[in-house]
Amino acid sequence: MLDTYGRKYAEPAIRKTADRFLTFGWTANQVTIGAFIIGSASGLIYYLGFPVIAVIVLWLSGFLDAVDGSMARATKTSPFGTVMDVTFDRIVEISVILGVAFLYPDIMWAALLLMASIVISMTIFLTVGSVSENNGVKSFRYQAGLAERTEGFIFLSVMMLAPSIVLWTTLAFFAVELFTAGQRFMEAKRLLG
């Protein structure tokens, strides 16, 4: 939801950074890989006892993830770049969830439910994207929902920064992901019915 409605506020910084990287001769795929490396380290950084650094690294990777898309649209999008982007985004999220779950093994069951809900939501998202006509600026049809990347990062940040409520935050994230999956499923029925 925040990605869909709040992007316009972050767009100037995203665009300026994308333009700067393009002048350096960097490609969107290079930035995607950089964002992946930075972001996938966040779970390990958290597990090692540096929650604030882990959150900063997570958000930096998210910013770079937005920049790489802007760079791709300014030059030439690549189908493989899209595959890398979506895959690497999930690995970053998984790294944080695993870092939290390994640090707090008593919430492992909730972390598994959360990952299952992400799999369900992303399955619907990607399937609808592959069988629908694209009418947006992204390389495939983008289904908005209650939980988009920014909401996920907010939940992941709270999970890392507020250990006293990590179980409840994880379960709330799970519920929001399931709700989003339902939204996307109903939209798919309406679009493809």
- Residue 145: predicted pLDDT: 77
C-alpha dist (Å) from residue 58 to 74, 94, 156 = 25, 12, 9
- Residue 7: predicted pLDDT: 76
Quote the pTM value.
0.89
- Residue 131: predicted pLDDT: 80
- Residue 146: predicted pLDDT: 79
Distance CA 193, CA 152 (A): 29
Tokens of 48: 């090692």
C-alpha dist (Å) from residue 156 to 59, 70, 152 = 10, 24, 6
Regions in the chain scoring below 50 on pLDDT: none
CATH homologous superfamily for the domain 2-192: CDP-alcohol phosphotransferase transmembrane (TM) domain (1.20.120.1760)
| Contact criterion met (CB below 8 Å) for 42 and 54 | yes
- Residue 79: predicted pLDDT: 86
